[in-house]
Amino acid sequence: MLYEISGNQDSSAILMFPGSFGSARSMQGYIDLLKENYYVIAVTLDGCDGSGNSYTSKDEVTDKVLQKVKELGIGRIHLLYGLSMGGANALNFLYK
């Protein structure tokens, strides 16, 4: 799993999940607009990141993203965005 992280870490955090087979790059236009005022974390899911890892489940995605959020020292996500399958991953993240 890859993460594109932009903006000032002291700003409010936004977490973004792409749609099916998408990557963080597919959201670049949004990222470019948001990074001026927010700390943006955009996810490229396993199976779409060129690593050879496969997408296995929403729960695995959520666990990996939660771990990354904790590593970054983010205590609160102020905006959660998900497109299509990314929406399902975002909702799963919200429930955990």
User: How far apart (Å, rounded) are the C-alpha atoms in residues 1 and 46?
Assistant: 5
Domains of the chain and any CATH numbers: 2-95 (3.40.50.1820)
Percent of the chain beyond pLDDT 90? 61
Mean pLDDT for the chain overall: 88
Q: What is the pLDDT of residue 96?
A: 81
What global pTM score does this model have? 0.89
